Amino acid sequence: MEFITYEQEEFVGVITINRPKALNALNSTVLDELNATLDNVDLNTTRCLILTGAGDKSFVAGADIGEMSTLTKAEGEAFGKKGNDVFRKLETFPIPVIAAVNGFALGGGCEISLSCDIRICSENAMFGQPEVGLGITPGFGGTQRLARTINVGMAKQLIYSARNIKADEAYRIGLVNAVYPQEELMDQAKKLASTIAKNAPIAVRNCKKAINDGLQVDMDKAIVIEEKLFGDCFETEDQKAGMGNFLEKDKEKKLKVVPFQNK
Ligand code: CAA
């Protein structure tokens, strides 16, 4: 791969968008490689992903403006679909994905972070949807996911004004869950990923699916989605061991990692 690196540390996979000369901007090749990287993640051995950008300046500075500058209407729509398809794959990926935002997260960079389950960032992070200043709309899901992640009025204000915000404001409006000094960001991301990876993987996957799918429908349908995914956990090794440890009241056993079973 030219622009993506993938490293596995125990149950955690780290995907790094590695195009620092262009501040990790997303061109077609980066999108294709990200798509292929996701397809190649071994879901039997991976329980959580971290997505970050190479270098200490930028997470992702957006879609590649040079590549977009000459597109026709039809090509623009196709480029939007290309990004949307990959980002949707990330959003619906069976295991949780943490965005470790280590600098600029502008345009497509903010949008890719919104496709992740959890966003944490460094103190130098900057978020924004500058597209209207370039004569386009956000095109990789920003008009949809920003308004579903923070409040609608604030999402509209950020998108219409093309104003970039710093890490502290991103935290205040609920766009990120935590802000860390740059040098601590990856350790904190890995710590969070390991905490998630210690829990029963089928249950964690089912929680992700229940939350994501449930948010798309009304409450009556949503609770049925939950019931099915709740029921799906029963008879698994994780459920038997997890509850067995508790019922045995054996502190040592209770603290033992349950023998995870993957789907
Ligand atoms: N596309 C292509 N190249 C980019 C880029 C982008 N989105 N962002 C930065 N780069 C390139 C620059 O062209 C520059 O390349 P050269 O060294 O070859 O000139 C290199 O990265 C470094 O950038 P700067 O010199 O501009 O660095 P800076 O520190 O002065 O500024 C910045 C940093 C504020 C992030 C600035 O680069 C910038 O404003 N970038 C564009 C941000 C943007 O508008 N993103 C949205 C894109 S549209 C989009 O994403 C649409 C969508 O929804 C799908």
Domains of the chain: 4-197 (3.90.226.10), 201-255 (1.10.12.10)
SS3 for 63?
strand
Residue 20 binned pLDDT confidence (cut-offs 50, 70, 90): very high
At residue 204 the predicted structure's pLDDT band, cuts being 50, 70 and 90, is very high
Instruction: Say which residue the tokens 């609920």 belong to.
Output: 174
C-alpha–C-alpha distance, residues 69 and 54, integer Å: 25
Judge contact between 37 and 76, C-beta under 8 A: no
- Under DSSP, the state recorded for 231 is H
Q: Does residue 71 have its Cβ closer than 6 Å to ligand 1?
A: no
* CA 198/CA 193 separation, integer angstroms: 9
Any ligand 1 atom below 6 A from CB of 162:
no
Q: Output the pLDDT for position 245.
A: 85
Question: Percentage of the chain surpassing pLDDT 70?
Answer: 95
Ligand 1 atom nearest 63 alpha carbon = 50
- The pLDDT assigned to 250 comes to 67
Tokens of 210: 């229940």
Residue 252 binned pLDDT confidence (cut-offs 50, 70, 90)? low
Helix (H, G, I), strand (E, B) or coil at 50: strand
> With contact defined as beta carbons under 8 Å apart, do 34 and 71 qualify?
no
SS3 content of the chain, % helix, strand, coil (to 5): 50, 15, 30
Taking only the tens place, the pLDDT of each residue in 149-180 is 999 999 999 999 999 999 999 999 999 999 99
Tokens 């995914």 belong to residue: 229
Type and span of the H or E element at 101: strand 97-101
Q: Ligand 1: does its nearest atom lie under 6 Å from the Cβ of 53?
A: no
31-59 mean pLDDT: 97
* pLDDT single digits (tens) 80-138: 999 999 999 999 999 999 999 999 999 999 999 999 999 999 999 999 999 999 999 99
Average pLDDT, the chain: 95
Q: How confident is the model at residue 251 (pLDDT cuts 50, 70, 90)?
A: low
Give the ranges where 41-175 is alpha helix by DSSP (H): 65-68, 73-91, 108-114, 142-149, 152-161, 167-172
- Supply the pLDDT for residue 249: 81
Among 3, 19, 23, 158, say which to mutate for ligand 1: greatest number of ligand atoms within 8 Å of CB.
Answer: 23
Distance (angstroms) between ligand 1 centre and the Cα of 21 equals 10
pLDDT band at 246 (very low <50, low <70, confident <90, very high): confident
